[in-house]
Structure 1
Amino acid sequence: MQERSSVDELVNLLRSELNRYSPGGKLPSSRALVERFRVSPVTVSRAIARLAAEGLVVTRPGSGAFRARPRADATPPPGDTSWQEVSLSGDGGPEVLPRTVDASGVLVTLAAPPPGVIELNGGYLHSSLQPERALAAALARAGRRPGAWGRPPTDGLPELRGWFARETGPALTAADVLITAGGQSALAVALRALAPPGAPVLVESPTYPGMLAAARAAGLRPVPVPVDADGVRPDLLAAAFRATGARVLVCQPLFQNPTGAVLAPERRGEVVRLARAAGAFIVEDDFARYLVHDDAGPLPPPLAADDPDGVVVHVRSLTKITSPSLRVGALVARGPVLGRLRAIQVVDSFFVPRPLQEAALELVGSPAWGHHLRSVSAELRIRRNAMAAALRLDLPALALPHVPAGGGSLWLRLPGTETGTDEAAVVAAALRAGVAVAPGRPYFCAEPPSPQIRLSFAAVAGATEIVEGIRRLRTACEETLGRPPSRSEASGGGAAARGA
């Protein structure tokens, strides 16, 4: 059993037994709990710490753990927050953009599913793919570094900035890099720095919901530019620049979320040229570079690697490839824009905690880093193939136009576009069947062309769980769409499902 599961179980058991003890009463010793529940001393220590954090027990060094006494003010009288409804809606005249932000598309990938539900909507690597031992060792070494708990430079540790610069391109240096609290924070800083409230920002369609939420939180107006199998379309991008006067494009040239598309070689220079001609910046979200599958072949360099004019503001992060809690990323930029990015970053968060930066340096500088990248690369390919095969077998009517060589998910089109398939009904039925999937609607900033869903193969335990999740999804589709057609009946969809 994993240590985390053992801790959870012990916490639940101890919590259920607390009523046996009077307030202030002493709980059994750690040794007694170890013998009774047949768990390790570390598990007992972590469980007691959890209960203490919840205010249920009090620990006294040398004496043990005691049931906490109820606080007199444990249930304060309810307040009246109704005034906020008036305040938050008082934006003024009709030209002011609403300040409300729809975070539902982000929360879908952050919320833990109910017990027993297979998580095909997750946004992070499953714990079995995370380098937990390497992270623990890196954090322990980092904590012992001289000055590890002091105040870091506001731009970030020079050594870490230098590492990100080398990872991005040979012409870049540490002076071109700002360390951020993960990729989401970097995107939010870039959007606020590059465009004033009310301005349009061009975005790929479909695209990452977290970016759309960050753009709207900054008061920007996302304008969609369609993506095909080769990435964002230059002809439509040129038309969008002319029509809107936008000065920012946000794109994911490598394994785009959610389609998995890679910007074609012949389009890369054209996209940068169009932005330069429009006097616009490109925010390059390079979120999936470390999520490449081991059958992908050589990867194209970032757009920022060959950009002497500073058109591209590059975003990358260590979070996706390591752990949701290692929130360390970078903004890479050239020219005066770096000063504006720095100012907003400092105002927002001062700096990224130094222990996290030191731990990141320890991790990427250790032999474990290369081993982790290789093992994740191989495992993601296995899981991708398992999901694609299960879809072809059980759900051939769900069109899978592209099987990517990177990232952690597949993007599918639901059948029955002409008859008005209810995407939300499929998602709800899937949850009832015991599998969580991500609806496609939040990935569009305008009306979607068809009902779609996104399925993650990175957030689950392995191929067996993937196959079971697709079986449960078939049950949901039978409930909402009727009997799925056989492979011969769905030859059109089945052909599409074979991917590119």
Structure 2
Amino acid sequence: MNDDSSIVRLAATLREEAGRLRPGDRLPSSRELMRLYNVSPVTVSRALGQLAAEGRVVIRPGSGTYVAPAVTRTGDTADLSWQTVALGDRVVDDTEVTGLLTPPPDGVIPLTGGYLNPALRPSKALSAAASRALRRPDVWELPPLAGIPELRRWFAQEVGGDVTPSDALIVSGGQSALTHAFRALAAPGTPVLVETPAYPGALASARAAGLRATAVPMDRDGVRPELLAEAFAVTGARVFLCQPTLHNPTGATLPLERREQVLAIARAAGAFVIEDDYARYFTVAPAPPPMIALDAHGVVVHINSLTKVLSPNMRVAGVIARGPAARRLRASQVVESFFVSRPLQETALEFVGSPAWRRHLTALSAELTVRRDALAAALTAQMPAAEIHLVPRGGLHLWVRLPPDRDEETVVEAARRAGVLVSSGRIYYPAEPPGPRIRVTHSAAVHLPELAEGVRRLAAALDDL
């Protein structure tokens, strides 16, 4: 149950419990609350959110919910509860995304996260590119709203086919691109199809746009075309989000034949395909061409971001689209944020146009291969009861199935107490997960010894349960 009365009752119960505890004491986990009070995850999330808004608890993603420190106020305390009614029942839940972005505490090894460890980033070369960019005479001038022409040309050339610079739009990173695409292509309240499992940031963005994420199953080669066609027919959806190359979290890469099938199915359904090509620079083996290069009918909206491959602060991405969809995307960009900072665009252009870009990709590919193999070998040797979904042709993660008798949240919490962070599998599913899974990342650790120690701690935590 997740109606308003259920939320109110659970919030009242937790309010009383928090009152009996001391500041800093931990409340039961979300899973425990669901079991104890027979409520849904949405009910738990909203009840805890209400208490957090009241200042009674502090939610720490990946750690838990704690009683807030006592605050001494002078005068009357403002009653902000009226906002609950004014805001309505739409929820923008950043819990899972914030958890993935939060740095680990000292002494804790991160086997989670979506960005490269600082040691793997080309920081000196980026600084040099920024210095050159800032010396350009027009760097502080207003940029073209769709992006500086040279950078749009570069993004168009990266995907090939008959894409032109006029098809490209520069936005503030891949997450922003997803948000623009969802808002531009689908009306609030309508369904959007997603691979399952799916990137949590995309799920959060779709929900914030008022869309209903509907799962389409995958296998080791990516989304299953026959089930995609069925999902379009059953739901009437007009948008399908996919990551065809090194899918997050499974690592699957969609073969050329399936890419062509997906395009044909979407075109027959009169639907768009949002191609999140986030991992195009993380491949260590040749991948099929992006779907935008195979698309002659304006079906695909393609996203290519520089953030993950360079730095969390390089919030520059190219969105490629055609026709009325492209015009709507550009309008969305202007209405929401006008344009991307010109100094940042110029820095990106300086870097990708320099020899440092290719050197970085070559070195990164070699390092990621070593890390992937080391992680896979350590998991196989130390956690034989777990199963790696597949060893991908690159990427940053491995998708691991835990023994069916293990509780996923308990494993993640035990690992945290043992000093290692992993991603809970449930956050990757728009509906009920099929079983206990975790995502393990090899790109966030400082070096191979730390990666090995992280797996040792994870295995010990699993064995102790």
Query: What TM bracket, shorter-length normalisation?
Result: 0.7 to 0.9
**2:81 is the counterpart of 1:82:** yes
The Cα of 1:291 is off from its aligned counterpart by 1.1
1:120 maps to 111
The Cα of 1:479 is off from its aligned counterpart by 2.3
* In 2: Cα distance, 1:275 partner to 1:196 partner: 18
Aligned equivalent of 1:360, options 344, 348, 351: 348
* In 2: Cα distance, 1:277 partner to 1:225 partner: 17
Q: How many residues align?
A: 392
Residues 271-327 of structure 1 show CA distances to partners (whole Å, capped at 9, x for unaligned) of: 10000000000000000001112xx2x221110012110100000100010000000
Residues 118-146 of structure 1 show CA distances to partners (whole Å, capped at 9, x for unaligned) of: 01111100000000001100111111101
1:10 maps to none
Query: How does 1:225-304 map onto structure 2 within 5 Å?
Result: 225-293=216-284, 296=285, 298-304=286-292
Residues 322-360 of structure 1 show CA distances to partners (whole Å, capped at 9, x for unaligned) of: 000000001101111110011111111100000000000
2:247 alignment partner, SS class: coil
The Cα of 1:233 is off from its aligned counterpart by 0.2
Contact 1:151 1:354 in 2 (8 A): yes
2:380 maps to 392
2:464 maps to 479
1:403 maps to 391
CA RMSD of aligned residues (A): 1.2
1:32 maps to none
1:227 alignment partner, SS class: strand
1:439 maps to 424
* In 2: Cα distance, 1:407 partner to 1:107 partner: 21
For 2:312, the aligned partner's letter is P
2:154 maps to 163
1:310 maps to 298
Aligned equivalent of 1:189, options 180, 197, 207: 180
TM-score (norm 2): 0.83
For 1:260, the aligned partner's letter is G
Aligned equivalent of 2:145, options 147, 154, 162: 154
* In 1: Cα distance, 2:161 partner to 2:393 partner: 25
* In 2: Cα distance, 1:290 partner to 1:393 partner: 29
**2:200 is the counterpart of 1:212:** no
The Cα of 1:102 is off from its aligned counterpart by 2.5
2:388 alignment partner, SS class: coil
Identity %: 58
Aligned equivalent of 1:323, options 306, 311, 332: 311
**2:368 is the counterpart of 1:380:** yes
TM-score (norm 1): 0.77
Contact 2:113 2:444 in 1 (8 A): yes
* In 1: Cα distance, 2:268 partner to 2:453 partner: 50
* In 1: Cα distance, 2:294 partner to 2:96 partner: 33
Query: How does 1:61-72 map onto structure 2 within 5 Å?
Result: none
* In 2: Cα distance, 1:170 partner to 1:365 partner: 20
Residues 76/462 of structure 1: CA separation in 2 closer, same or farther (3 Å cut): farther
Contact 2:256 2:289 in 1 (8 A): no
The Cα of 1:401 is off from its aligned counterpart by 2.3
For 2:298, the aligned partner's letter is G
Contact 2:253 2:287 in 1 (8 A): no
2:307 alignment partner, SS class: coil
* In 2: Cα distance, 1:335 partner to 1:305 partner: 16
Greater Rg over alpha carbons, structure? 1
* In 2: Cα distance, 1:408 partner to 1:200 partner: 29
* In 2: Cα distance, 1:313 partner to 1:424 partner: 35
Residues 124-175 of structure 1 show CA distances to partners (whole Å, capped at 9, x for unaligned) of: 0000000000110011111110110121111000000000000011311110
Instruction: Could you tell me which runs of 5 or more consecutive residues in structure 2 were left unpaired when the two chains were aligned.
Output: 1-72
Residues 76/263 of structure 1: CA separation in 2 closer, same or farther (3 Å cut): farther
Aligned equivalent of 2:332, options 341, 344, 357: 344
Instruction: Could you tell me which runs of 5 or more consecutive residues in structure 1 were left unpaired when the two chains were aligned.
Output: 1-74, 90-97, 481-500
* In 2: Cα distance, 1:168 partner to 1:344 partner: 23
Residues 47-70 of structure 1 show CA distances to partners (whole Å, capped at 9, x for unaligned) of: xxxxxxxxxxxxxxxxxxxxxxxx
Contact 1:122 1:459 in 2 (8 A): yes
Contact 2:217 2:224 in 1 (8 A): yes
1:411 alignment partner, SS class: strand
Residues 150/79 of structure 1: CA separation in 2 closer, same or farther (3 Å cut): farther
Q: Moved runs in structure 1, 4+ residues, more than 3 A?
A: 75-80
